[in-house]
Amino acid sequence: MGSPVDQLVDLLDLERIEVNIFRGRSPESPLQRVFGGQVAGQALVAAGRTVEPDRPVHSLHSYFLRPGIPGVPIVYQVERVRDGRSFSTRRVVAVQNGRIIFNLTASYHVGEEGAEQQAAMPDVPDPDSLRSLVDVLESELPVPPPNIDRRFPFDIRYTEPLRWTAEEVAAAEPRSAVWMRTQGALGDDPLLHVCALTYASDLTLLDAVRVTLEPLWGPRGYDMASLDHAVWFHRPFRADDWLLYQQESPSSSGGRGLAQGRFYDRSGRLVASVVQEGLFRPLKR
């Protein structure tokens, strides 16, 4: 079976079945749909395997079109849109049971020197002073949540105490922050690190929307699903080192919530930015 990190690496290790066609596993799950971060991460692996290694990915933009079915393999078809002198572009379509469930466009850029500036990292507690999410949930919930397994490859630590009561939720601002890193070493392949971060970027981002509505863990009052996802990669990083994921929601309306995230390494360098819109539809009781 291997460790959770071994399982993540195996999940992101696609089978090449043709020059530009790859197949990825989709693990069995008690949930009704495949985790969006898995599909985005696998699609980025497929795209990255058709690009020269001196051109790292600098951005991806994607849409979740249909829910994926757990336990059914996903085929990723890569279109080599352009290979210029400095930039390459790839388009990926994810297909399951003959239907398109996801599409992604990624852009790659040869490294260049340029001006440097960034938003400052917020002042938050050091990860070593915080409890892991698994430890917190074991002490607060009688039964583990059904979606907790997708988080096992990562050590996730919220920078503020989780809110459990209606009074605490009512006082919440639409923002959240976590430290995260993989539970073990990932090796030195840069593609694996950017794809692991892409997977992780979908784990907690919509917390910034949900935190003002209900406790983040426990019974849900809303049907939630990722609608789209975009990531910009600014600087090199390692997903097996601590990264701060600062998240906020500037708007929620019409059954949708928008969330923005920034990844900082422990030294304060901004390494990636993320934007996602999610569906928030009240569950019918």
Q: Is residue 276 annotated as a catalytic residue, yes or no?
A: yes
Q: Which of 38, 42, 96, 202 is catalytic?
A: 202
Neighbours of 94 (CB within 10 A): 27
238 in Cβ contact with 269 (< 8 Å) = no
Look up tokens 């698994």; give the residue: 134
Q: Side by side, which strands form the sheet with 270-282?
A: 15-18, 21-24, 74-83, 87-96, 99-109, 57-64, 222-233, 270-282, 256-265, 243-253, 175-182, 154-158
The β-bridge relationship of strands 154-158 and 175-182 is antiparallel
Which helix (DSSP H) or strand (DSSP E) does residue 45 occupy?
helix 36-48
The answer for residues whose C-beta is within 8 angstroms of residue 188's C-beta and 6 or more apart is none
- Percentages (nearest 5) of helix, strand, coil residues in the chain: 20, 35, 45
- Dihedral of CA atoms 174, 148, 74, 101 in degrees, nearest 10, equals -30
Residues 62, 176, 252, 276: which is the catalytic one?
276
Per the listing, tokens 């304060």 go with 268
Encoded tokens for 187: 């090796």
CA distances from 279 to 10, 29, 226 (A): 29, 21, 6
How far is the C-alpha of 203 from the C-alpha of 8, rounded, in Å?
14
Which member of 29, 226, 246, 252 is catalytic?
226
Q: Is 62 a catalytic residue?
A: no
Hey, which residues are catalytic here?
202, 226, 276
